[in-house]
Amino acid sequence: MAEYLGLTVDIPANDPDHIEYLQGAGEGRLVLQRCSDCNLLRYPPGPACPYCQSLEREWEEVSGRGTIYSYEIVTQAINPAYRELVPYAVVLVELDEQRGVPDEHEALRVISSLVDGDGAPEAEENVAIGARVEAEFADLGDGLGLPRFRLSDETPEHELWQFPS
């Protein structure tokens, strides 16, 4: 059974929308669904295209590059397995692909963890809205992986913003 930080990841074989995303990550690829009819990417993966209602889709690898759209620092773990991890950053990453399509508010925004070069939670002082990030992958076993992000050395496109505490 696939596992991450003591958390069992139990995705049945007849749930392709979820398991194939994690299988892509198991191969070190960030994959999204592209609608076979209207040709738009979507996230989260799911059985229907929210833009044209088609049920036909293909998986496609994307760059894994993006910008932090929002974030939070979790200091109180809910699951006991995560107690050793706090404080940790949860980020909402806006991917570079398909920003502002099909309208100005749309973007592919992915929930993830922000980790450092060793896969440990990135330090709070380095987490900011606007920071550039790139995908990396944690191994879950059973051929599955979990996409995570780390800071990249790219120049941010706008001024960084941190919660003023």
Partner 1 sequence: MATDERTIRGKVAIAGLAETTYYKRGQATDPEFKMALQAIIAAAGDAGIDVTEIDGFASYSNDRNDPVRLATALGLPQLKLSNMFWGGGGGGGSGAVANAAAAIVAGYADTVVVYRSLAQGQFGRFGQGSGANVARGAGAFTSPYGLMSPAQSFAMRVRRFMHDHGTEQAALRAISLASYQHAQHNPRAVMHGRELTEEIYDNSRWIVEPFHLFDCCMENDGAAAVILTSAERARDLKQTPAYVLAAMQGSDYRQGATAHNAPDYATSNFKTVAPRLYEHAGITPGDVDVLQSYENFTGGVLMSIVEHGFCEPDEANELFTLEHLSAPDGKLPLNTSGGNLAECYMHGLELIIEAARQVRGESTSQVHDANISMVGSGPMVQPVSDLVLARDLG
- Interface contacts to partner 1, rule CB under 8 A: 4-11, 15, 18, 21-22, 43-44, 50, 69-82, 85, 88, 90, 92, 103, 105-113, 129, 146, 148, 161, 163-165
Query: Least distance to partner 1 from the beta carbon of 163, Å?
Result: 5
Of residues 106 and 134, the one with the C-beta less far from partner 1: 106
Nearest CA to 47 out of 9, 19, 8 is that of: 19
Query: How far is Cα 90 from Cα 97, in angstroms, rounded to an integer?
Result: 21
Instruction: Give strand pairing partners of 72.
Output: 90
Burial class, 88, CB count within 10 angstroms (exposed 0-12 / middle 13-18 / buried 19+): buried
Which residue, 103 or 118, is less far from partner 1 as judged by CB? 103
Prior bond of 121 cis (ω within 30°): no
Q: Pick the closer one to partner 1 by CB: 65 or 124.
A: 124
Least distance in angstroms from the C-beta of 116 to partner 1: 15
Least separation in angstroms between residue 48's CB and partner 1 is 11
Identify which of residues 59 and 82 has a Cβ nearer to partner 1 in the complex: 82
> Residue 155: exposed, middle, or buried by beta-carbon count in 10 A (0-12, 13-18, 19+)?
exposed
Taking the complex as a whole, the smallest distance from the CB of residue 76 to partner 1 amounts, in Å, to 7
